[in-house]
Every structure is written in structure tokens, then in C-alpha cells.
Amino acid sequence: MQVALSKVVAAERGGVAGRDSITRSLDAIRRHLDMDIAYVSEFSGDTAIFRRVNAPGYEHMLKPGDTMRLDDIYCRHILEGRLPNLIPNTSREPVALAIPITRALPIGKHVSVPIILPDGSIYGMFCCLGTKPDDSLHDRDLQVLKVFADVAALEISEEQQEAAKLRERVDAVQDILDSGNIQIHYQPLWRLGQARPVGFECLSRFPQKPYRSPDKWFSEAADLGMGVNLEILAIRRSLSVLPELPSDMYLTINVSPEAVLSGRLDKLLADAPPRQVVIEITEHALIEDYQKIITSLSAFRARGFKLAVDDAGAGYSCLQHILQLQPDLIKLDMSLTRDIDSDPARKALASALVSFSRETGSRIIAEGVETEAELMTLRAIGVEKAQGYLLGRPMPFDQARGFFDITEAPFGLAGQVQGELPAAPANASSPN
């Protein structure tokens, strides 16, 4: 949450990444007018907040984030007409001389205009000041400053809109974290040849409107620096059913490398029976430091927790995960299992991964199995476990309980062909 809030605050304060044209404008106009300090302020009640400051040599006197009372500087006096926008020589302005900062800084010359946003509201002031008077300052200079202020107003308005959108995004994720409004569905995992699932993969579902797929929610949370918090909530909800799960079944929980490295899994899994929880690493990009992940996972694996790697066959990064992490379970991506019965290339690649798993002592789980033909082909090449809509859609735990005592496994749960799954071929290694 802290990261998300810092992003919102930065956006609200004009810190949107990659946007610094106002700062460059301050430097340009300060040099053009031969001033010492240029700044953009924002009004907040009776206070001026200095959002952007260009003051080489005077940084000790004024920097971004500093605040002053409006009555202690020129802003309010200019807006209310007691001081002009252009002051070549402050010594000729009694109101200016009465303000302590005029002598304290000192201020010899001053040019300032309000920053008026597109909706007509006054954001603050665009100001330049110098320590020495300059009677060469002219109305032309004031007009130039107004142009810069108008450009700044447009940019600030865009920043405010972006900050508002960012806050909406943060609030949406935070609402889930605060309310715990996340549902866990359980998809059965089958060992082919058995009439009862060996476990369930825990999959998050978000009932919020408008609908967004789970991967979008987790991606959004990660982008906001809230990803681990959302994962921990999902994992906690997933594991809450462990006391009701038969002792010979397990749950697979999806965990990102960031969540592993956070150290927060330790507490969540402290009392979990290792034989009933599989840690599935989900990551679609390259991991920069595998050794940190391996070290963090080693304590769990030493206790007996199994490790799975997701999306095998979906890209180079996943193959790297397999080689580096040496998982106990390798999950074939649905892009590989789809139409495997009619696609020689998919079948060849899946067969190669099966051979790899036998050589390394791991096991293969095929994801996304949707047809009986795909299932038969996978079984024929030695795949031992599978999941997919053919074998059972993700479902609430109340429905998943119905699989605890079944004696006949359906090929599909929506009216497809029914019957026992085929026995494992004689050359297949014993299931895990």
C-alpha cells in the first residue's frame, strides 16, 4: 500500500514519471529574465506549497515541498490587487517592503502570474524573482511569463487527471484488500488412471464490477506495488479449506517470485501440512536473480513442500525457470495441450518435456485439457496428471467437496462422454 500511495502522491504533486517540461520551463524563463529563483506553487487553504523550484545557489532557501503562508509572500497580495504582477523594483512598492521576506531574501524584483486551470480554478502561481532590482523589466516579459503559466496549467491539469485515475486504481485494489472480497475456485487435478482427483488448483475470482479477469487484477495490483498483498490474501483464502481437505489430496497455490522473496509465505505456511500444499511459481518474464528465489524456496522444500512451474512450452522464460528451479512438477501450458491430438509439432514438444521430466525426476501436469482426444494423446505420451474443462471446471469449494468420495471419474462435467480414465501405460514412471 505504501508504494501505491507514494505513486499517487507523486502524481498529485507533479511527479508523473517522464514529465519535467515545467521544470525546464522554470529554468528557461529564469535565465531569460535574469532572475535568481523561479517556482510553481500550489495553493492549499492559506498556504502556498512550492511544487517545482529552480533556484541554483539558493536551494538552501527554497526547495520543492516547502510551504509558506500566503500572507508571508506576494501571492495573495498580487491576486487581490495590492501588488502588481510585474515589479521591477520592490523598494518602490510599500506593500512589498512591509512583507518580511522582501528584506530577508532579499527580493529586488518580482514577476508573478496565477496558474489558471482549464476549469477556471486557480492552482497557484508561476513566479520569478531576483535579489537585485531591474528597471529594464517590461510588460513583454510579463506576457512571456503568462505563456509559460498557461502551458504549465495544461500540464498540471493533465497530471491531476492522471493522479485521479491512479487513485481510482489504487482504491479499487485497496477495496478488495480491505473487504477481502475475493473468491477462490478449485479446479480438480487428476492422476490419469484413477477415478478420484489427487488435488485442486486454487484460482482467484473477483466479483467486482465491471468484470476483470483475475490476471488483470493481479497485474494491476503488481503495477501499483500492491501485488504481494493481493497474492497473500488469495493464498490465505485458498488455504483456509485445508482442514476439510482429505489427507491424500493437495492444493496448488500460485505464487509470484516477489511474494516468495517477501518472506510472508513463511507465516502462511507455518502450520500447513507440506504434503498437502504445492507452491506453483507463476512468472512470465525473466527472473534476474534465481539464486535468491532458490534460497527462499529451499526452506519450504526441505520441509517437504513440492514446487511446480507453470506454463511450460509457453516461452523461453518458463524453460529458464524449469532449468534453474528444478521443480517437482512441470505444468504444460494449454497452448501446448490444445489440439495436441492433431498437431505433430505440439505432440513432439510435449513428448520431449515428458522425457525431460523422467530424466530429472519431475512430473508433468497437462493444463487446459478440453477434449477426450487431447486426453488420450497426452496419456499415450506418458503424461501422468491433467486438469481442464473436460475433467472439471474451477468451482467453489462446496462443489469441490463432491469429488472427495467419487468412484467414477467423468471425462467432462457438462454432459460429455463419461467413464473411467484409461490406465497408465506400462512404461510410465510411477505417479507422485
How many other C-beta atoms can be found within 10 angstroms of the C-beta atom of residue 168?
10
Please state whether the peptide bond connecting residue 106 to the residue before it is cis, i.e. omega within 30 degrees of 0: yes
* pLDDT tens column, 151-164: 999 999 999 999 99
Task: Tell me the per-residue pLDDT of 118-135, one tens digit each, with 9 for 90 and over.
Answer: 999 999 999 999 999 999
pLDDT of residue 44: 95
Please give the sequence-ordered ranges of beta strands (E in DSSP) within 173-314, or none if there are none.
183-191, 199-205, 250-255, 277-281, 306-312
Q: How is residue 322 written as a grid cell? A: 524449469
Annotate 64-129 with DSSP letters as a single string. TT-EEEGGGSSHHHHHTTSS-SEES-GGG-HHHHTSHHHHHTT-SEEEEEEEE-TTS-EEEEEEEE
331 pLDDT above the threshold of 70: yes
- Amino acid identity of residue 103, one-letter, is R
- For residue 202, give the 3-state DSSP assignment: strand
Q: What is the pLDDT of residues 229-265, one digit of tens each?
A: 999 999 999 999 999 999 999 999 999 999 999 999 9
Of 76-85, 217-226, 279-288, 379-388, minimum mean pLDDT range:
279-288
Residue 18 pLDDT: 38
- Work out the pLDDT band at 429, boundaries 50, 70, 90: very low
Which residues are CB-contacts of 351 (< 8 A; sequence separation ≥ 6)? Answer: 381, 382
Q: pLDDT of 93-104, one tens digit each?
A: 999 999 999 999
Average pLDDT over every residue of 288-307: 95
Q: What is the pLDDT of residue 421?
A: 40
* Residue 78 and residue 125 in contact, taking contact as beta carbons nearer than 8 Å: yes
- What's the pLDDT score for residue 413? 32
Q: Options 3.40.630.40, 3.30.360.10, 3.40.1310.30, 3.20.20.450; which CATH number does 180-403 get? A: 3.20.20.450
How many angstroms separate the CA atoms of 48 and 44, rounded? 6
* CA-wise closest residue to 290 among 264, 267, 268, 319: 319
Type of residue found at 288? E
pLDDT per position as a tens digit, 11-35? 545 544 335 789 999 999 999 999 9
- When pLDDT is averaged across residues 421-425 and rounded to a whole number, the result is 37
Average pLDDT over the chain, rounded to an integer = 89
Q: What pLDDT is stored for residue 418 in this prediction? A: 36
pLDDT digits (tens, 9 = 90+) for 20-75: 789 999 999 999 999 999 999 999 999 999 999 999 999 999 999 999 999 899 99
Given a cut of 90, whether residue 311 has pLDDT beyond it is no
The larger pLDDT score, comparing residue 319 to residue 6, is at 319
Question: In whole angstroms, what is the distance from residue 84 CA to residue 99 CA?
Answer: 15
Q: Cell digits for 4?
A: 501505491
Q: Which pairs count as long-range contacts for 70-75, CB under 8 Å and 24+ apart, including other chains?
A: 70/43, 70/46, 71/46, 72/99, 72/100, 72/101, 73/48, 73/99, 73/101, 74/99, 74/107, 74/110, 74/112, 74/127, 75/41, 75/43, 75/48, 75/112, 75/124, 75/125, 75/127
pLDDT in tens, 193-215: 887 899 999 999 999 888 999 99
DSSP 410: B
Query: What pLDDT is stored for residue 124 in this prediction?
Result: 97
The share of the chain scoring above pLDDT 90, in percent, equals 80
- The per-residue pLDDT for range 354-377, each reduced to its tens digit, is 999 999 999 999 999 999 999 999
Q: How far apart are CA 100 and CA 408, in angstroms?
A: 89
**pLDDT value of position 425:** 35
Domain boundaries, the chain: 2-165, 180-403
pTM of the model: 0.80
pLDDT of residue 4: 54
* Percent of the chain residues past pLDDT 70, beyond the cut: 88
Highest mean pLDDT among 205-214, 306-315, 421-430: 205-214
Q: How far is CA 42 from CA 46, 151, 153, 332, in A?
A: 11, 15, 11, 55
What is the spatial distance between Cα 263 and Cα 267, in angstroms, rounded to a whole number?
8
First to last CA, the chain: 40
Q: With cut-offs at 50, 70 and 90, classify the pLDDT of residue 316.
A: low
Q: Does the structural domain 2-165 have CATH classification 3.30.450.40?
A: yes
